[in-house]
Chains A and B, each alone.
Chain A
Amino acid sequence: MQKAVIQLETLSCPSCLQKIENAVKGINGIDQNSLKVLFNASKVKVNFDSEAVAINNIEKAIEDLGYPVVKSKVKSA
C-alpha cells in the first residue's frame, strides 16, 4: 500500500468534496476507507495499491473534474 497526499488548488465549494470523493472511490486499487478529502486544506489523502493503480491515474481522475493538482507526495504506508 502506498499513501498519497495530493495538494489541489484552493477548493471553494463543499460539493466539490463529494465529487472528488466519488470520483476517486470509483478507481480500482483504492483503499476506500482511507480516502479523505480535506476542504480547508484543499488536499486529498488516500492509500492505494501501487500495483493496481498509478498515482497519475488518481491525479487524472481529479483533474478531469476540473480541479488542478498542484503537487502530490507518495510514500509507503
Chain B
Amino acid sequence: MQKFILSKKNFITLISAILIALGFLGRFGLENNLLFNGSLIIASILGVAPIAIQAYQALKVKVVSIDVLVTIAVIGAVLIQNYEESAIVTFLFLFGSYLEQRTLNKTRSAIKELTELAPENAIKQMENGEFEEIDVDAVEEDDILLVKTGAKVPVDGTLLTGEGHINEASITGESVPVSKKVDSAVFAGTILENGTIQIRADRIGEDTTFVRIIELVEEAQDSKSEAERFIDRFSKYYTPAVLILGFIVWLFSKNIELAITILVLGCPGALVIGVPVSNVAGIGNGARNGVLLKGSEVINDFSRVNTIVFDKTGTLTVGNPEVAEKEVYGNNNEEVLGYLASVERESDHPLAKAVLQDIGKTSFYTVEETEVVKGGGIVAKIGDHRIAVGNVALMKKENVELSEKAKKDVERFEKNGNSLVLTAIDSELKVLMGIRDQIRPGVKKDLQHLKKLGVKNLVVLSGDNQGTVDLVAQELGLTEAHGHMLPEGKSAYIEKMQAEGQIIAFVGDGVNDSPSLALADIGIAMESGTDVAIETSDVVLMNSDFSRLPHALGLTKSTSNNMKQNIIIAVGVVLILLASLLFSEWMNMSIGMLVHELSILVVIINGMRLLRYRLKRA
C-alpha cells in the first residue's frame, strides 16, 4: 500500500491540482463553499499521504526530514480548518519535488550519457573457431574478439587483424576518428566507425580505461568538499531545530497558524541541493570535453590557482627531440659514433633516442659497467676505453678538458636553444651534439588563455640548460624559466612558492615528476599511457591534450562561482522568508512553500548552466 501510494505520486499531484482548481471555481465561480472546502480537504488528504509515508519512514530510522516538517504543518492547517493552505502547500511540495527530479536528471545527463556508452556484448571466437555473441562480463583475458562496423569495442585490447577507424570520444573527448592498424591498442567503449577488426583482450572489466574513467567520475561527482560536509552536518541539526522552534512558538503564543508557518519556512531545501548540483554539472561538462576533475575539492583548489608550473620536455614541447647541430673533434669518426650509439642504446632517455636516430646505421660494441649519473648522463666501458656521454656538468666531473673552440661551440649551441650531449672517450672530448625539441603546436595560445583566466605566473622548470629553457620561455611568453633542475629541485621550488602563498598547479610527466605532482596543490600528469595520468593527477586531461587545460581552468572557476551563488541564493531565501514572517503581514504557508520550491528550481537551473559552459575564444 505504501509503495503503491509512493509510486503514484505524480498522479496524486495531478489530481490535487485539479481538485484545487475545482475548489476555487466552486468558491469564486459558483459561490459554493461546500464544494470549495470539500475538494480542498480531499486534495489535502490525498496530497499529504505520500509525504506522510516518507516522513514516517524517515522517523523510523531516526531522521527528521523535510517531509516530517511538511506533514506536521499540513495536519496543523487542517486542524485549524485552513484547508486552502493545507491543500496548496501539499500540492506545491509534491509538484516541486517532481520538477526537482526532472531538472536534476538534466544536470546529471552528461555523466549518464558517458556511463551509457559502456559496452554490453562481445563477439568471441569459440574453441571451434566460430564467433558467438557473449555478455561482456564473460570475456576473459586473451580471448579473441570480433568487432564489426558500428559496434563498440568491448574491452581494452590489441588489434590482431583488419583495420578501421575508431571514434574514441568516450575516453578522449575527441570525436575525430583515429586510424587503427595491426598492433594498435584499442579501448573499451570506443566505437568502430568503419572496417571489421579482430582484437585480443588485454584488459577486461574493471581494469579497462573506460571503466576506470567512469568510476573516477562517479566518485568525483559525489565527493564532498569541506563546505559541503559542513552543510551536511548543519542540516542534520537544522531540521530538528526548526521543529523545536515551531513547537516553542506554539507553546508560548498558542498560535498554531504561526507555528506551522515556521515549519514550512524553515525547510532547508535549496541549501542541501545547491552545491551537489553545481558539482555534478561541472564535472559532467568536463567529462564530455576530455577533462576529468577529481571531485569538488579539486574544483575549488584549481579555480584558485595563480601559478602554473610546467615541465618542459613532453609538456610544452612535443617530447620528440632531434639532433639539430653537431661538432666533431679529432678523427676516427666512425668508431666514435659507434661507441656513442652503443652507450646510448642502454638508455631510454629522450635525448638518447634522438642521438641514435641521428647516427642511424653503425656497428655496435659490447658495453660494460654502465653507470647512470643522475642529472648528468651515462658513463660506461667499451673494451679498455672509458666512455662518458652527457652534459657539461658530467664532463667536468670526468675531468674532460674543453678546448677554446669547444667552449665557444657549447656557448653557441646553448644560445640556439639546444640541449647538449657531449661524448668523451678516455677524458677527451670527441663529439658535441645540439638537440632541439619542437614546441607543441597551439601551446602559445593556450598559455595566453590561461593568463586571461587570471593565472599570474607561468613557470617552466627543466633539467635542460638555461639557454634552451630561456628560449622556450621567450617564445611562449612565460614569466619565469629555470634550467638545470633535478626532480628534487623542482619540488623544492614548488615548496618555496607555496610558502610565499602561491597556489600552484604542476603540469608534468607522471614518472620523473611525481614528487612535484604530489606536492603541488593541483597535479596534472601528461602521459599518453593513460594509467599513470589517471592515478596521479587531480585533473586528468584525456589523451594528454594540452589544449584542454584552459577549458579545465575556466570550467573550475565557473563551477566554483556557481556553488557560491547557489549557497547565497539558498541562505538568502531562508533569511528573507523568516524576516518577512516577523516584519510583514502577507507571509503565509503557501507563499513560503512557493518561494522555497522556486529557490530549489533556481539553484538547479543555475547549476545546469554549467553543462553549456564553453571557453570564450581569446
Partner of A10, one of B53, B66, B105: B105
Interface size class of B (residues with CB under 8 A): 20 to 34
Residues of chain A whose beta carbon lies under 8 Å from any beta carbon of chain B = 10, 12-15, 18-19, 22-23, 26, 36, 38-41, 43, 63-66
- 30 residue pairs from A and B, CB less than 8 Å apart: A10-B101, A10-B104, A13-B66, A13-B100, A14-B235, A14-B273, A15-B63, A15-B65, A15-B66, A15-B67, A15-B239, A19-B63, A22-B61, A22-B62, A22-B63, A26-B61, A38-B219, A38-B222, A40-B111, A40-B218, A40-B221, A40-B222, A40-B279, A41-B111, A41-B218, A41-B221, A63-B3, A64-B57, A66-B3, A66-B54
Q: How does the 8 Å CB contact mask read for B108-141 relative to A, with 1 for contact and 0 for none?
A: 1001000000000000000000000000000000
Besides A18-B63, A19-B58, A19-B61, 19 more A-B contacts (Cβ < 8 Å) are A10-B108, A12-B101, A14-B235, A14-B273, A15-B66, A15-B67, A18-B58, A18-B65, A19-B57, A19-B63, A19-B65, A26-B61, A40-B276, A40-B279, A41-B218, A41-B222, A63-B3, A64-B57, A66-B2
A18 to B235, CA, bound (A): 10
Q: Which residues of B contact A15 (CB under 8 A)?
A: 58, 63, 65-67, 235, 239, 272
Indicate if the CB atoms of A18 and B236 lie closer than 8 Å. Answer: yes
A65 to B54, CA, bound (A): 7
Asked if B97 lies at the interface with its beta carbon under 8 angstroms from chain A, I say yes
Report the minimal beta-carbon distance from B69 to chain A, rounded to whole angstroms.
Answer: 10
Indicate if the CB atoms of B57 and A65 lie closer than 8 Å. Answer: yes
Q: Which residues of B contact A22 (CB under 8 A)?
A: 61-63
A19 to B63, CA, bound (A): 6
Report the minimal beta-carbon distance from A77 to chain B, rounded to whole angstroms.
Answer: 13
Report the minimal beta-carbon distance from A11 to chain B, rounded to whole angstroms.
Answer: 9
Report the minimal beta-carbon distance from B293 to chain A, rounded to whole angstroms.
Answer: 13
Indicate if the CB atoms of A12 and B272 lie closer than 8 Å. Answer: no
A64 to B57, CA, bound (A): 8
Q: Which of B54, B61, B111, B236 has the most CB of A within 10 A?
A: B61
A10 to B61, CA, bound (A): 21
Q: How does the 8 Å CB contact mask read for B272-284 relative to A, with 1 for contact and 0 for none?
A: 1100100110000
A24 to B279, CA, bound (A): 26
Residues of chain B whose beta carbon lies under 8 Å from any beta carbon of chain A = 2-3, 6, 53-54, 57-58, 61-63, 65-67, 97, 100-101, 104-105, 108, 111, 218-219, 221-222, 235-236, 239, 272-273, 276, 279-280
A18 to B280, CA, bound (A): 19
Q: Which residues of B contact A10 (CB under 8 A)?
A: 101, 104-105, 108
Partner of B97, one of A12, A39, A64: A12
Report the minimal beta-carbon distance from A74 to chain B, rounded to whole angstroms.
Answer: 13
Indicate if the CB atoms of A43 and B218 lie closer than 8 Å. Answer: yes
Report the minimal beta-carbon distance from A45 to chain B, rounded to whole angstroms.
Answer: 10
A66 to B9, CA, bound (A): 11
Q: Which residues of A contact B62 (CB under 8 A)?
A: 22
Report the minimal beta-carbon distance from B98 to chain A, rounded to whole angstroms.
Answer: 9
A63 to B280, CA, bound (A): 25
What are the 6 tightest A-B residue pairs by CB atom distance, in nearest-first order?
A22-B61, A38-B222, A14-B272, A12-B101, A15-B65, A40-B280
Report the minimal beta-carbon distance from B22 to chain A, rounded to whole angstroms.
Answer: 29
Report the minimal beta-carbon distance from A6 to chain B, rounded to whole angstroms.
Answer: 13
Report the minimal beta-carbon distance from A7 to chain B, rounded to whole angstroms.
Answer: 10
Q: Which residues of A contact B65 (CB under 8 A)?
A: 13, 15, 18-19
Indicate if the CB atoms of A39 and B57 lie closer than 8 Å. Answer: no
Q: Which residues of B contact A14 (CB under 8 A)?
A: 235, 272-273, 276
Report the minimal beta-carbon distance from B559 to chain A, rounded to whole angstroms.
Answer: 14
A39 to B535, CA, bound (A): 24
Q: Which residues of B contact A66 (CB under 8 A)?
A: 2-3, 6, 53-54, 57
Partner of A38, one of B61, B104, B218: B218
A22 to B236, CA, bound (A): 12
A26 to B276, CA, bound (A): 26
Q: Which residues of A contact B66 (CB under 8 A)?
A: 13, 15
A70 to B280, CA, bound (A): 21
